[in-house]
Structures are given as structure tokens and as C-alpha cells.
Structure 1
């Protein structure tokens, strides 16, 4: 085959060189969602969690791409890690996509990505505004019903929180307004806990480590006391045996002396 007949190699870039996130709040939220979901599905080999990488849906056309902030795919191998997500190779689009809206992405998130993810069959499309500047609500969960997205109403237990249930993840999503900004947390309704952030997981690990160290110290102290008590009991037994031996010797000597006295008087 001549060079002119060689098949065209299509490159699918892994990055466009842009920053991972537009602000520290977006970066923190992205890291939390990815790490929390990876930990939550850690024991499942058929769930893939990733984010901030290109997804391609048209083979041979790398211009047709989008970079979801966070996505989850069910029914595919967890390994190996993919540098990009190519729908024609994997056989399906992600089941859940999170987009963290910002000044530069809000319009695209609400319109172009909305229509694209709907067309690709993404079952849940979740928009979160961590700064509450670009969306009407800080949490918008769209669920694919038939061929169209339906907005799932948020629950408002108070004026600082927005909650929505993800049927695909089996988790509840909460966005809470705090003095430092908006915080995202995923609630496990079975375990009745929030999935921890990396910082919280580290603090939890350190607290557990302290508990284990304290337990080890107590066990060593108890073992040391038990060893001392065993030595003391052994010493007491030795002394008692020695006293009993000497007592027997004294009784034997007393009997001998009494025997000699009896002999001398006869």
C-alpha cells in the first residue's frame, strides 16, 4: 500500500489546555463529587466515575466533543482508566452527568449541553451553581423521561438547602448555603450519612487512627498489668511453696527430736 493510500489517523485530544475549573469553589465541588462517587462505588467493578475529560460521540470527528465536569457510567468495566470517553467504543453514553455552572459555561450548560445530553440518552443531567449567580436555583436535576428531560422539583426543608433524589445513583443530592458559599454533599439514604469529602475522610481516618492508637495503648497496658500480675502470682506461689517446704522440714525435725527424747527416757 502506498503512502497516499494509508488510512487517515484521527487524533482525539485529551485536553484543550484550559484550566480544570473556573474557580476554587468549582474545583472543590468537582473533586468532592468525583472522589465521593469513586469511594461509594469502590466495590463495584461495573461502574466508571470520572470527570473533566473529553467525551466524543461521533467517530472520525474529534470536533464533536464536550467535557462533562463529572460523569458516572453503569455496566462498563471500571478498568482501565480512560483518557477520554468515546461513546462508539464504550457502547453507551454516561448515565449521569454533573455540570458545575460558571460565568463561561452557564448558557452552554442550559441549552447546548441540555439538548446534547438529552439526545445522547444521558439518564440524569444535574446542574449545580456553586456560586448561585448563574442559575435560577443552585440545584437542577433533569431526569430523562421517554426522550425528553423532566425537571425534578427540589425539596426545601429550610431556606438554606436544596435537595433532589438521583434514581440512578441511589443517592440524595444536597446543596446548602453557608457563609463561605454553597456546599455540595451526597447523602446515602441506606447508611444515613453524607459521603465525606477528601478533607473529611482524612479527618475521619486520623480520628480512627487516634482511636486505634489509644486502643493499642490500652491493650499494651492491660497486657503489661496482666504480665506483672502473672509474675507476682508466680512469685507468691514460689514463696508459698518454699514456706511449705520449710514447714515440712521443721515438722520432720520436730518429730525426729521427739523421737530422740522418747528413746533417752526409756
Structure 2
């Protein structure tokens, strides 16, 4: 079963077509990673599924429901979206930002009840941001701010998480912590997670399903071993890559690469 389906999806910026006739199937309860060169349309696809931008034409289905026929609040209970470089209103504390994730679940005057507060505290704890709960978002480092945004997405408590470069600004240890946290949420709670990731080896390591995009079209998809091949990386990135199997994870990794030499 698929959590997200797009049918003949077309996306444009002005008169420039970015994505043409995209038919995407995101498996339910799995981690899907999307890879592709800068400007290929992968972030645009995620923003469109997340209702941040509107498609030119085509349909998007979330758990069998037509995205554009559903109430936005109802969709927000099923799907959380973390775009690249999100911006928060000036003056917010970390806890206030993360509390925004509870908005779709609140009733009446939107006051936080005990359950809301417990979920916000849990989100801060698992993203290791609790010690900054009273600090102004503007005063955080880039990595701390990114963890706060991820905590807000987790606090929304949805079955589907869309994350565009969730490890931006994070050092290696914090990248791994966040990706392992998302992996645990997937394995333990069967949440569907879709991530755009630039770092190929992380995209491979944590993926149940990978999709390679070039110029707004799917070039390849499947398990990591199907996508992380020398031929596919040449097609997607124009690189000559050496692919080996990681002895720890048994997933393919890009050991080294160079630009494809022109004849």
C-alpha cells in the first residue's frame, strides 16, 4: 500500500516547467529518500506534496484522499512538512516554536492541554533540545535551530513526515542521531518518512526505498542496491563513482568519485 501517490503531476515556476508528468508512489510505513542534483526538482516535489506550492496540473493522494479536496487542518493531522531553511517569527522561544506542531490537534481557543505539553516535552527530549527550551530561536546555532524545527515536526504527531534536508547545519554526530531517531520512529511506529538528502551514503543507509530524480523526472527507484549503482549515479550526477557494500549496514556506499571525463 502507498501513503503518497502523484498522478501526472506537473509543476512550474512561471513559464518554466520544473516537473513533468510525475507518477510517484511512496510506500506506506517505509523510509523513502530522494536524491538528485541541485535544481533537479526534488525539493519542489516535496513542497508540492506538502501544499507549500500548488501544482500546475495533476493529482496528489495522501492515504487515498485527494490532497486538494481535503481540509488543510485534517491533512496536517496526517502529514507534517519540514521545508529547507524554514523561518520562525522573531522572538519565539524554542518551546513556543515546537508547540506550533500541536496546532492541528487543538480545539476551542487553542490552549495546550497536558497531552500537548507532554508531546512537546518528548519531542524536545528525543531531539536533545530540552536544555534550550526557554532560549530565543534567533540565539541558537544553525544545528540547534534545525533540531528545534525537527522537534516541531515530530510534535505534530503525524503518520507521514516530509523532510527536506533534515540534517542541514548538523555535524556528523548530530546527523546520525537525527537519522537514527527517524529510523526508530519508522521501525517502532511505522511512520512513513520521505526525505530529500544530498549526502548519498546517508540516503542509502537509511532508505527502504530510494528515488533518483533528474530534470523533474524519475530516473530510477527501488531498494538502495537498485539505485546506488555506478550507472545510475553517472546518469543523475554525471560522476564516475566507485560503489562498495558497507560491511556494517550491508548497504551500498559511494567510496570515491570523480567527474565523468568528456571525450
TM (norm. structure 2) is 0.28
In terms of fraction of residues, the more strand-rich structure is 2
TM (norm. structure 1) is 0.28
Q: Highest CA radius of gyration, 1 or 2?
A: 1
